[in-house]
Structure 1
């Protein structure tokens, strides 16, 4: 009724045929007596020629129309090599408006990416007509399809888990949903399918996966969408950390090799495995960008023996760089260091005679200078930067200086996707605000050393079988070998301040299930949105999500969050406080 074929199917083989096509008016050109329309559908663009100009009356850009006409060969001098249909056109005999324009466009479709983000999101259905934006969504669909096929090929079964579930303390804020039937009680939207996928393992399902929606009431970042996101969630029974690593490597390497821009280099399995402690020392972060060749070294002990008092009693990190740096570069780097909270930034340059030049040189005794050269692996022309503070801050600052140096000196490897695993995370951390020990990450992880470690070690020294996948400085995935033993689980939660009754209440399903022969199991969940963001080289994750929340966690298009009626509130037994 509306079209005989989509525009990508139009070819020179159709020349001479009478056809009907449909789409949106992308552009109108009046050449005096003859007019042209660029007609666009989801699949392509074709030029329509209107020799009867009355057919164009009332037609405006972005109206949805249907055209009946004859396919013609274009004159050779008018070929358009930018589009597949560039050698043909359709002479219109009849034009019908299917969807009229009643309002002026808020922005030009072809340049919508240059429009303010709040306007783009308010009219996202128009923004999605932009070819670049639409292509991101098609790309997203193809990646997800490939992930599904790959997981099924590897023997995983896709199973959907509930969206309405119980609230549990998993690290982020829950979105809560009031119950109409049970006064004063609430459901929660799942931060992840964590408990359900573990329960599937107890149920005897060997390999589960899901393109899982997850909901967390968190603030937005460039690589984090507020509200909801999707992850490739998978879990395996009778699996070790190494088994999970092998699956992660296979699916991610295959995905990135297939979808990365042409000419890109992708890390091949096995991925480098870096402990959390090593990552914090060498990179200043647990999300290291391995495209940056710079490494951080620890020179704390050396400087405790020097006469530079500002470094005494502090952790001292150093970064060696071999590059020409002007006085202006040093001044800009110092300004950056001060901007992130550092009091200053020490440095030393290695001169032709292997002596040092820099403000700290005089504080290094002559008989220790050769030791420092060996410690830093210093050569003529090197500059070594020095960062000192309490350990946590020294790591943070050194990591930021490393990144800044890598970017400003153009040291970052181009067209590369560099993966690594970060493992051996601390099981617990000390919460300064609440003056108590908390879980560092996932409370369901197996502690290294099991029950004996929990009973005999300082909790802050216990490591967990937890791991992340990091690519180009972006955390793609977290995962763990799960704690499947009820006795170990009770003790692990006890250390974090949860008694057994709380465990029964908050995690009753797991608590009970683990009393019925739970298998050892492990898994992880690479973020789909972040994967696609990296593959498309987008700086903001909202560019690869069809209908994203704004940076302030609002759906500007549909008006969420919004007010509801008093009747709706009464139904769910809610009263809004003033």
Structure 2
């Protein structure tokens, strides 16, 4: 038997017991006649004691142990004379009677401590060592808990978990596919799924009216802190439902997670249209834990001789709470921040609301106190606030001010990780114009149903057609999104037409789905949560990497196993990949 107890289990109630523990050497301390070893496993740390008076050879063996050696010890539980209230086992220790080294260890390239000296790159390369650290280990255990609660909630509502294929057909919509060459069909390729979208719709045609799957998805796209080339979705679909049914079910699931995991009970989630979100916060996933709503200033800022504002499509500002005391140096730093290429603003105007009726601005030459008071009223500024104003093309300016608002939220400590502010964003546009291809693309995907009252606009003004689509936002992050689907063949064909598909292209790419719609497809809709992002936010973090056991780096590489990598010429020959063969 390698262990009778774990390293985080023993307490004063276990005094006098003979126990066997196994784990890794965390650290050792040699104090003259005594040697102490901390042994660690997934469950915690227990102190071991070796006394010269009892067994000098045993103590000599203990003194030779290095960090991360794997050991097995047997001994008696005794009370610690110098207790450690920082760990659950801190009132006891093990007086060791036998010690076995199960495996030696090289000196790790970084310390296996909560606060480590290892940088991101080295910890990614030795991820299996990083997992021994509490922050990573606990994040993975937390992810397991979230996943289990999701399964429990959905199973209790009669959802059926069904696996869908990983080797599918490439489609032209959405992000780039990862492709897989077929050995048995030379010159043909599978694609890895970006989502199980069409398969879950086919399950609805098949009569499985409540489906879910916790599923890997793949997108060959540029990476950020909250993106990976392979990621996990909580994928769900329901039949005989309308939008309200889906919002109710999955708002309930989010409430269940917040209550079960954090003990937080929330009222009904607020709702906001896409247009309102863009107008008020400059993006479709606003963080509503704090204010600084946008105030559009065109009417009160474009009547003077300030050409910067007069020629702008949009003049818009925010009121930064209690920031009127910012120095010129601090404001100049913010101006430099919005001018960075990542934000792209050409400049920024400010006004300090210093006292009632006294507002000092960087454009006092053009605007009097009455003008500035109107700025304050529109942005909601109070005495002591700082008004910041950007101007330019409407869409770009909103995006720039949104970035500034989020940056200030971080700097002012307004984005608290232990506060949770969910929000439904609804009534998305069905289509969005792409400047590069000069055509409309589906904002979500081509299977999203348009609102029936907007159908007439498809031919005359397609950009104004609203979709039966919805996103669930939590703390400024989209954690889930979905829609009511098209379930009629003719409407789906019409949608493909407006997306630029010829009838032949639509049949070639999606004929299997359109054919299925001819056999009694029910009304259906669904939603998918990003499990990695949801878990990170519930865990109080913005980045997802520590909640994934073996993540890729920002270049999409797995530096631990060194992938992607070249493959042997013989494999390329079998796959009929001549281009790569000539490059090698």
TM-score range for the pair, normalised by the shorter chain length: over 0.9
1:267-282 equivalent positions in 2, closer than 5 A: 268-282=266-280
- Corresponding residue to 1:298 among 282, 296, 312: 296
Residue number in structure 2 paired with 1:64: 70
State how far apart, in whole Å, the 2-side matches of 1:238 and 1:359 are.
58
| Cα distance, 1:249 vs structure 2 | 1.0
- Corresponding residue to 1:254 among 241, 253, 256: 256
CA gap 1:560/1:450 in 2 versus in 1, 3 angstroms: farther
Residue number in structure 1 paired with 2:537: 534
Q: Tell me if 1:84 matches 2:88.
A: yes
Residue number in structure 2 paired with 1:399: 402
| Cα distance, 1:384 vs structure 2 | 2.9
Residue number in structure 2 paired with 1:552: 555
State how far apart, in whole Å, the 2-side matches of 1:288 and 1:454 are.
28
Instruction: State the Cα deviation string for residues 10-35 of structure 1 (Å, max 9, x = none).
Output: 34444333332211111222222332
State how far apart, in whole Å, the 2-side matches of 1:5 and 1:107 are.
28
TM-score by length of 2: 0.92
1:504-515 equivalent positions in 2, closer than 5 A: 504-515=507-518
Deviates more, 1:204-213 or 1:27-36: 27-36
1:147-546 equivalent positions in 2, closer than 5 A: 147-224=150-227, 226-260=228-262, 268-313=266-311, 314-323=313-322, 324-326=324-326, 327-339=328-340, 340-350=343-353, 352=355, 354=357, 356-364=359-367, 375-377=378-380, 380-412=383-415, 415-449=418-452, 452-453=455-456, 455-546=458-549
Instruction: State the Cα deviation string for residues 428-487 of structure 1 (Å, max 9, x = none).
Output: 122111222222222210011278436543111111111111111111112111111111
1:561-572 equivalent positions in 2, closer than 5 A: 561-572=564-575
State how far apart, in whole Å, the 2-side matches of 1:93 and 1:122 are.
38
CA gap 1:489/1:451 in 2 versus in 1, 3 angstroms: farther
| Cα distance, 1:282 vs structure 2 | 0.5
State how far apart, in whole Å, the 2-side matches of 1:104 and 1:407 are.
39
| Cα distance, 1:536 vs structure 2 | 2.1
State how far apart, in whole Å, the 2-side matches of 1:382 and 1:96 are.
66
The 8 Å contact of residues 66 and 98 in structure 1, kept in 2 or not, is answered as yes
Instruction: State the Cα deviation string for residues 380-402 of structure 1 (Å, max 9, x = none).
Output: 55543221111111111121222
State how far apart, in whole Å, the 2-side matches of 1:400 and 1:392 are.
13
Residue number in structure 1 paired with 2:17: 17
| Cα distance, 1:290 vs structure 2 | 0.4
Residue number in structure 1 paired with 2:49: 49
The 8 Å contact of residues 455 and 465 in structure 2, kept in 1 or not, is answered as no
CA gap 1:449/1:352 in 2 versus in 1, 3 angstroms: same
Give SS of 2:456's match: helix
| Cα distance, 1:175 vs structure 2 | 0.9
TM-score by length of 1: 0.92
The 8 Å contact of residues 33 and 53 in structure 1, kept in 2 or not, is answered as no
Deviates more, 1:270-279 or 1:356-365: 356-365
Structure 2 stretches lacking a partner, 5+ long: none
| Cα distance, 1:53 vs structure 2 | 4.0
Give SS of 2:470's match: strand
The 8 Å contact of residues 273 and 421 in structure 1, kept in 2 or not, is answered as yes
The 8 Å contact of residues 223 and 530 in structure 1, kept in 2 or not, is answered as yes
Residue number in structure 1 paired with 2:100: 96
State how far apart, in whole Å, the 2-side matches of 1:356 and 1:133 are.
49
CA gap 1:386/1:72 in 2 versus in 1, 3 angstroms: closer
State how far apart, in whole Å, the 2-side matches of 1:549 and 1:198 are.
31
The 8 Å contact of residues 210 and 232 in structure 1, kept in 2 or not, is answered as yes
The 8 Å contact of residues 282 and 398 in structure 2, kept in 1 or not, is answered as yes
Structure 1 stretches lacking a partner, 5+ long: none
| Cα distance, 1:417 vs structure 2 | 0.7
The 8 Å contact of residues 447 and 465 in structure 1, kept in 2 or not, is answered as yes
Give SS of 1:555's match: coil
CA gap 1:337/1:85 in 2 versus in 1, 3 angstroms: closer
The 8 Å contact of residues 35 and 53 in structure 1, kept in 2 or not, is answered as no
How many pairs does the alignment contain? 570
Instruction: State the Cα deviation string for residues 150-175 of structure 1 (Å, max 9, x = none).
Output: 11122211111111111113411111
Give SS of 1:177's match: strand
State how far apart, in whole Å, the 1-side matches of 2:567 and 2:20 are.
46
Give SS of 2:241's match: coil
Give SS of 1:110's match: coil
Give SS of 2:250's match: helix
State how far apart, in whole Å, the 1-side matches of 2:515 and 2:87 are.
61
State how far apart, in whole Å, the 1-side matches of 2:376 and 2:146 are.
49
| Cα distance, 1:4 vs structure 2 | 2.4
The 8 Å contact of residues 450 and 488 in structure 1, kept in 2 or not, is answered as no
Q: CA RMSD in A?
A: 2.3
CA gap 1:511/1:79 in 2 versus in 1, 3 angstroms: same
The 8 Å contact of residues 357 and 373 in structure 2, kept in 1 or not, is answered as no
| Cα distance, 1:353 vs structure 2 | 6.0
Instruction: State the Cα deviation string for residues 120-172 of structure 1 (Å, max 9, x = none).
Output: 11111111111222111111111111111111122211111111111113411
State how far apart, in whole Å, the 2-side matches of 1:298 and 1:145 are.
45
Give SS of 2:529's match: coil
CA gap 1:359/1:50 in 2 versus in 1, 3 angstroms: closer
